[in-house]
Structure 1
Amino acid sequence: MWEKDMSKNKMNTFALLRGAAVSGLICGGMAAAPAFAQQVAEEDTQAETSNGQISEIVVTAQFRSQNLQDTPLAITAIDSALIEARSQNNIEDVAKTAPSVQFTSGGQGGGAQTAAVNIRGIGASDFLFPNEPGVGIYIDDVYYGISLGSAFDLLDLDRVEVLRGPQGTLSGKNSIGGSIKMFTRKPDETPDAYIQAEYGSYDRMQISGGTNITLAQDRLYARVTGLARSVDGFLKRLDYNCANDTDTAPGGTFALASDDCVIGTEGGQDLYALRGALRFIASADIENTLTVDFTKDHSEASPSKSIIYVSPEYITGPEDYTSYANYTGYPGTDQQFTNPAISYVTQWGIANTFDWQIGSNVSLKSITAFRKTRGRNAWDGDNSPEHQVNDFNVFKHEQFTQELRLSADIGEMIEATIGGYYYNADSRLTGRVSNGAAALDFVPNDPFDQESKSGFIHLVLSPTDTLHFTGGLRYTKEDKTYTFNRASGIPGEPVNPLVAPLDGLVGEFHGDRWDYRVAADYEFYPDIHVYAQVATGFKGGGVNPRPFTASQLVPYDQETSTSYEAGLKSFLFDRHLRLNLAAYHTDYQDYQGQVSSCPEISPPGFPFCSATLNVADADIDGFEVEFDFRPVEGLSFDGSVSYTDFQFADARAGSGIIAGETRPIFVPAWKYALGAQYEIGLGDRGTLRPRVDYAWQDDMESTIPNGIEGFTFGTVDSYGVLNARLTYLSPDENWELALAATNVTDKFYYANKFDRYTQSGNVYGTVGRPREFRFSVKRRFN
């Protein structure tokens, strides 16, 4: 009934949002008027200059506005124009084209909006609360502290910065693998108003828009943006008895033949998001920006299907977008229940950024934010009519963050920033874990409290205009508490004796850490920079959040990394080619791995495990190449290539890791992306812009152990996806029409796999989206 209600209200909700968005944006566009101009540096993008040269890109990775080519870090910077040209809708799409970045959403039971993200082989794979993200995700410098709900949709972005390597002394909170930072457009005097409507495959409908509003000339500006999207699921869930004209599957028949035996779909989305910003310019030296955002994402469950199953008849065709998942536990018994096949996330936040230019050489920045997230998602872990795994998660998360930065120029040679960061979060996980294969059925009610405090200093010494030395130091102290509560999932029955001893147990972690960064960069020829750096980072420790038994409730320590990096940043051929190179070696210690086999902490003969443990050390070597080439005006090529060589060493006994042989999870060795765009002038009839993009990644593992007998089914095969877009711009560029196609070749591929073959004879995969077409109309008001 829940799913039917979702479908029934889907179009009504979208129509209401569409009408409200159109009315509000038209009124906002009429109210917009010229006002105070933003600094040129904040508006700098990747646009070509008049002679086809490549312009500078401004980033803020080192606390100040700085040209990308002058920043001694490996950074990918993507502006809003390129994001739109590539038909990218969410942060996962952006990550697919960035070197050394792996962003896998859905799967692993965490919901469609949950991501396993790593950069240069370092990140996180378990979505539960004590497991911190190894890659920090930020919106306007506000850190988002959990993996749940982190696969953000893109709304009114100015740019995205991807910082690769440990950011222990830079980003707001320690990020051992790197950071992905999204920056939204800032209110200013220009109307910058637009409205866009889109229709596409699977009844995709989307409307978005935004506008600046001048409330007080030269003083007060607002920006309002909104997005509503509805798209049907592409993977059909079939009723086995109906589709095969039989009654052999337990639980009965759920669908009618007149409905083509379809009981639901996966992969659909019903989303709307609103964002408002208020910018107050109190004086030439004081500015304050207040932002509020709200997102309601009623997605369907992640599109998944069984690959190997103990009952082979419950597997659909190998490249069919179908499964027999019915989200039903205990089929055919008095305890039968059915979960809604959903992945819901509702979140909102408020942030305030205060900038004060105290004197000609001293400035203060304060970033204060509160965020609240609520979500529910279901997981049919066997994708069959039987009952192996049928979980339902309900999660809550609230976080408060405060960052202060005091920056000063000391003479003509030194730039200094000192500051502090505070993070406090309260989270709770409830729902139901029903694992028929393990004979476990319980209701968790687990609160998790976390606090992190840090202080940092960042210095840049410039003895000459072309030589710079950078140093950074940060101290962090962390405290975490996780409380386990267990009740029976079946009313009237006692709690399973395996998990009953967990009830009321408390796991704690307390730790601290010093991190540092030392770098040097030198411009040995105009527009050609070289740099080298040593940087450290860490990911906090915790307690295993997935114990099936009391013996599996064990702590794990911080994992740490020390990275040695050298790079080249260059403009060549009179700035018609941007070529950036980086090579690195990372010493990776106390790797926190989610293992599926842990006999050393399990009862004798008990095969089930999803524990987070410090399982090994590792050495990681790699290189990255990024380029942007404009051979002639109007023609551009861009792309990247990366290689990651991750080798485990000193593996923990019983971890399932064999040093030098076991592969890490979610780390493809090779990855590349290529794009080409050409601007065809049509005289007084406008402009035509065809573009193609291709992104490919090597095969990777999804589970540990792997590559040994019984653990060979978690390999995600290599795949490449081709996208294309044809855009027409009117002569004044106020009208834009676009026809886009994603996955042009209709490649069937798995984005993720879940291997439980040795435990229950079950392997399933999360399916990538098939070919889709979209047509959009955009109107700008300048």
Structure 2
Amino acid sequence: MTAPATLLLALQIAASPAPAPPTAGPDVQTTTPPAAQEDAEPVPGRLGAAQQGGGDIVVTARRRSESVQRVPIAISVIGGTALAETGAYNVNRLTQLQPSLQFYSTNPRNSAANIRGLGAPFGLTNDGIEQGVGIYVDGVYYSRIASATFDFTDTQRIEVLRGPQGTLYGKNTTAGAINIISRAPSFEPEARVELSGGNYDFFQAKGSVSGPLVADQIAIRLSGSLTTRRGTIYNLRADEWQNSQDNLGLKTQILWRAAPNLDVTFAGDYNRQNPRCCVQYYARVGATQRPLARQYAALAAAQGYAVPSTDPFDRITDVDTPLQARQSLGGLSLTANWDVGAATLTSITAWRFWNWNPSNDRDFIGLPVTTVSANPSQQRQLTQELRAASNGRRALDYVVGAFFFHQTIDTQGLQVQGAAAPAFLSAAGTAGLTARNTIGFTNISAAVFGKVTWHVTDRLSVAPGLRVNYDEKEGDYLSLVTTGAGSTTLTSAQRGVLAPQSYQPKFDNWNVTGDINLAYDFSDDVHGYLTYARSNKSGGINLSGLPLDAGNNPILSSATVKPEKVNHYELGLKTQLLDRRATVNLAAFWTDIFDYQATVTNGQLGVLRGYLANAPHVRTRGVEIDSAFRPSERLNVYANGTFTDARYVRFTDAPCPPELSGGTNAAAGQAASAPGTPGGISPANCNVSGQILPGVSKWAFSYGAEYDHPAAFAGLPGNFYLGYEGSYRSKFSANPSRSIYTDIGGYSLSNFRLGYKEEGGINVFAWLRNAFNQDYFELLATQSGSTGLIVGQPGDPRTYGATVSFAF
């Protein structure tokens, strides 16, 4: 080992904090009921372990181990067993268990996670901005949601924190955080195996093995998962099933107990996904203000084209571009925890990569309008976090830390217009028109943060927090556009479809944010809190091309996006009743966001990607309830719900919805035509103040129950059980400016399980998901060019299968 490397390792060890040395733990740790017995031996949780009575759930949301009921944060916890039994094996499926969490994805790169309606702009991903929901895996921050679309492998628990967390977590997170904790290496030999099979050729295998390499000093854990499933959408033209799954994940952890008070963990992981994905296709048609001959029905008829079915839930398509969503991701991390008595020091060093190689059909139909749409991308990130957290309960508890983040992204975009482009886009000379985009991005962020908890009395505590943050972003965007003959001399019509652009945006900013929290213990089982947070989401740069002016030239003033400034207020109450057989937690929140980063589009015929702009004022407010009941030793019931009112308070120059787009631009003082008037007059922009934010349901619920009955099998004690999980979402808008054509209706889903399990041994169960075969859309979108075509991505149909797992 080189001298610098030796010095780095020594510094990491010397600066590392950690709780007690990791051991083989349960899925979600609980302590015995008396609140004072916080050091009691942990026992395994049951279904929805964080929600069930019978003990205190121990979490590390505030960078120390403590009861979830005593954490003055709106937080939900799901244990590894519950994840497996409910089929929630990735972030997307968590949404059926956590109503405040929304996840949208047209492909892994174009994914977004929102909490309470906030996090990332709704629409196609723009690499030049931050996500407002932080994803952490074993303390390591994942900078893009795409790099967190892996299958959960060997997961102990997942903590979902709602509201700003910038004074506790390395990266500033204005909407919340998803904290994924893996099972740690064990000094006791153990192994776990889980196998699942179902319809649509579904197969999933997960396994892990752990044990000592050197007794009481070095332990290792090896984990892996494999998921395959044929697609649910049949492509007649390609003669293949699309929207399939093909995922592989591997992870290694090595724990070195260097001293009784010092642990060092080295971890490495690799994930590969190669599905035939992701197709969006005909959902419906709406009227726009383009001339009738230039709307979808007339354009398709002129080409002699008809979609295979106008019922999207027939699940057939004929898109004519090969689909691919291949990605590989992984990384290395070194975590050191050093208990120095009064405090625990922690160092987390991590390097991660993400390689993305897609192919999409961005005209969404079987005509060669856009024959190639691909943006291969390579991301690298380096993070370093140093943190100190006080041990035990003192008059003053604290967490202080420093965080550094460096990210690079290189993208090579390619878009090619096909033979049908001139007629379909009403733009001569666009057949063979090609854009080659070279995009570079560098992102640096550094921060110091801290939070102090002053226990004024045994029941009252005050916890102020502060964060000082610096962000710097630099980009380089070059789009070279050539005609079918290879010329770079373009007509105005050609530039209106693919415009050559070159710009180098840059953003940098210092900001100081903070929060204050008041918590009061009314009793050992009733806890209240009040929080105010002033948070900041970094500004950004547009890396998907800029909108054009009347002369089809890029508007350089739109190259950067201002930071979001957040004022957040929250009132919470956490209760356990009836000898802790009932848990009811309530939270009311109000969040104002100024300079909200919104995805918008412009009126170009061939624009396939949106760009970012700032909406002056957005507000989200609501009430959440998390509840669980254990009426008997055999029955567990839970019900969670959220009411969210998320709206644009002021956004007077927003893009217009499809029904007001595509017509002649209104002159000064000229009134716009009624929505959907062919050949009408379109406003230059629209006032959407008061409209709901996209992607947010006003009402969302998750609920379920499990009943078990003791029985012996082969002489071993166990339980037969029946489980049910349900969820409901009310309608939501799928367009940045609400449209009558892109509202997604409310829907409910029901899942059932029936099985048998032995304590700490085998678990065999049959499962039925979307049991009533509910037809619903996950997303709707508009075809470029204001043609009126609305395309959709349907949710999974009914699936069924069986799972067997065992541990030894």
Same fold (TM over 0.5): yes
Contact residue 694 and residue 738 of structure 2 kept, 8 A: no
CA distance 1:226–1:491, change in 2 (3 Å): farther
1:443 Cα offset (Å): 1.4
* 1:727 aligned residue (735, 744, 755): 755
* 1:473 aligned residue (452, 466, 470): 466
1:296 Cα offset (Å): 0.6
1:503-582 matches, cutoff 5 A: 503-547=501-545, 549=548, 550-553=553-556, 554=558, 555-582=560-587
1:234-273 matches, cutoff 5 A: 234-239=232-237, 263-273=239-249
- Higher mean alpha-carbon deviation, 433-442 vs 533-542, is at 433-442
Inter-partner Cα distance in structure 1 for 2:476 and 2:753: 50
1:409 Cα offset (Å): 5.8
* SS of residue in 2 equivalent to 1:372: strand
CA distance 1:610–1:315, change in 2 (3 Å): farther
User: Number of aligned pairs?
Assistant: 698
Residues 1:420 and 2:402 are matched in the alignment: yes
1:42 Cα offset (Å): 10
Inter-partner Cα distance in structure 2 for 1:409 and 1:193: 32
Indicate the residue corresponding to 1:456 in structure 2: 449
Inter-partner Cα distance in structure 1 for 2:738 and 2:24: 56
CA distance 1:650–1:383, change in 2 (3 Å): closer
1:189 Cα offset (Å): 2.3
Residues 1:678 and 2:700 are matched in the alignment: no
1:690-709 matches, cutoff 5 A: 690-707=722-739
Contact residue 45 and residue 58 of structure 1 kept, 8 A: no
1:649 Cα offset (Å): 1.8
* 1:168 aligned residue (152, 162, 166): 166
Indicate the residue corresponding to 2:663 in structure 1: none
* 2:777 aligned residue (750, 754, 758): 750
Contact residue 53 and residue 581 of structure 2 kept, 8 A: yes
Residues 1:285 and 2:261 are matched in the alignment: yes
1:326 Cα offset (Å): 2.9
* SS of residue in 1 equivalent to 2:355: strand
Indicate the residue corresponding to 1:320 in structure 2: 313
CA distance 1:63–1:489, change in 2 (3 Å): farther
Indicate the residue corresponding to 1:253 in structure 2: none
Contact residue 168 and residue 399 of structure 2 kept, 8 A: no
Unaligned runs of 5+ in 1: 1-34, 240-261, 329-339
Contact residue 115 and residue 133 of structure 2 kept, 8 A: yes
Contact residue 442 and residue 496 of structure 1 kept, 8 A: no
Inter-partner Cα distance in structure 2 for 1:512 and 1:622: 31
Inter-partner Cα distance in structure 1 for 2:499 and 2:275: 36
Residues 1:395 and 2:377 are matched in the alignment: yes
Inter-partner Cα distance in structure 1 for 2:728 and 2:705: 15
* SS of residue in 1 equivalent to 2:306: helix
Inter-partner Cα distance in structure 2 for 1:637 and 1:362: 39
Contact residue 53 and residue 575 of structure 1 kept, 8 A: yes
CA distance 1:495–1:293, change in 2 (3 Å): farther
* 1:211 aligned residue (185, 188, 209): 209
Matched residue type, 1:77: V
Inter-partner Cα distance in structure 1 for 2:462 and 2:59: 19
Inter-partner Cα distance in structure 1 for 2:23 and 2:410: 44
Matched residue type, 1:571: Q
Indicate the residue corresponding to 1:585 in structure 2: 590
1:491 Cα offset (Å): 7.1
Normalised to the residue count of structure 2, the TM-score between the two structures is: 0.82
* SS of residue in 2 equivalent to 1:148: helix
CA RMSD of aligned residues (A): 2.6
Indicate the residue corresponding to 2:189 in structure 1: 191
Inter-partner Cα distance in structure 1 for 2:569 and 2:735: 28
Inter-partner Cα distance in structure 1 for 2:773 and 2:85: 20
Residues 1:764 and 2:791 are matched in the alignment: yes
Inter-partner Cα distance in structure 1 for 2:256 and 2:617: 50
1:342 Cα offset (Å): 1.1
- Higher mean alpha-carbon deviation, 177-186 vs 607-616, is at 607-616
Contact residue 743 and residue 772 of structure 1 kept, 8 A: yes
Inter-partner Cα distance in structure 1 for 2:774 and 2:725: 15
Contact residue 132 and residue 147 of structure 1 kept, 8 A: no
Matched residue type, 1:227: S
CA distance 1:749–1:578, change in 2 (3 Å): same
1:84 Cα offset (Å): 1.6
Contact residue 453 and residue 477 of structure 1 kept, 8 A: yes
Indicate the residue corresponding to 1:115 in structure 2: 111
Indicate the residue corresponding to 2:679 in structure 1: none
* SS of residue in 2 equivalent to 1:485: strand
CA distance 1:347–1:651, change in 2 (3 Å): same
Residues 1:610 and 2:606 are matched in the alignment: no
Unaligned runs of 5+ in 2: 1-21, 30-38, 286-295, 657-685
- Higher mean alpha-carbon deviation, 742-751 vs 543-552, is at 543-552
1:43 Cα offset (Å): 5.4
CA distance 1:43–1:411, change in 2 (3 Å): closer
CA distance 1:42–1:205, change in 2 (3 Å): farther
Inter-partner Cα distance in structure 1 for 2:170 and 2:352: 15
Indicate the residue corresponding to 1:74 in structure 2: 74
Inter-partner Cα distance in structure 2 for 1:740 and 1:224: 28
Contact residue 744 and residue 771 of structure 1 kept, 8 A: yes
Contact residue 576 and residue 584 of structure 2 kept, 8 A: yes
Indicate the residue corresponding to 2:635 in structure 1: 635
Residues 1:65 and 2:65 are matched in the alignment: yes
1:78-97 matches, cutoff 5 A: 78-97=78-97
* SS of residue in 2 equivalent to 1:84: helix
1:718 Cα offset (Å): 1.2
Query: What does the per-residue CA deviation read over 1:54-103, in whole Å, with 9 as the maximum and x for residues that have no partner?
Result: 22111112121111000111001111121122121211111332132111
Matched residue type, 1:648: Y
Inter-partner Cα distance in structure 1 for 2:568 and 2:179: 21
Residues 1:221 and 2:211 are matched in the alignment: no
1:687 Cα offset (Å): 1.5
Contact residue 306 and residue 382 of structure 1 kept, 8 A: no
Contact residue 168 and residue 536 of structure 1 kept, 8 A: no
Contact residue 44 and residue 56 of structure 1 kept, 8 A: no
Contact residue 134 and residue 171 of structure 2 kept, 8 A: yes
1:182 Cα offset (Å): 0.6
Inter-partner Cα distance in structure 2 for 1:628 and 1:496: 66
Normalised to the residue count of structure 1, the TM-score between the two structures is: 0.85
Contact residue 235 and residue 323 of structure 1 kept, 8 A: yes
CA distance 1:355–1:635, change in 2 (3 Å): same
1:635 Cα offset (Å): 0.5
Contact residue 320 and residue 367 of structure 2 kept, 8 A: no
CA distance 1:411–1:687, change in 2 (3 Å): closer
Residues 1:407 and 2:392 are matched in the alignment: no
Inter-partner Cα distance in structure 2 for 1:153 and 1:476: 32
Inter-partner Cα distance in structure 2 for 1:606 and 1:777: 50
- Higher mean alpha-carbon deviation, 374-383 vs 693-702, is at 374-383
1:514 Cα offset (Å): 1.1
1:702 Cα offset (Å): 1.5
Inter-partner Cα distance in structure 1 for 2:353 and 2:275: 19
Matched residue type, 2:721: R
Contact residue 440 and residue 476 of structure 2 kept, 8 A: yes
* 1:141 aligned residue (113, 119, 139): 139
* SS of residue in 1 equivalent to 2:512: strand
* SS of residue in 1 equivalent to 2:694: coil
Matched residue type, 2:163: G
Indicate the residue corresponding to 1:483 in structure 2: 476
Inter-partner Cα distance in structure 2 for 1:474 and 1:692: 43
Inter-partner Cα distance in structure 2 for 1:489 and 1:179: 44
Query: What does the per-residue CA deviation read over 1:558-604, in whole Å, with 9 as the maximum and x for residues that have no partner?
Result: 1121110000001111100111000011111111111123x6xx8xx
Residues 1:366 and 2:347 are matched in the alignment: yes
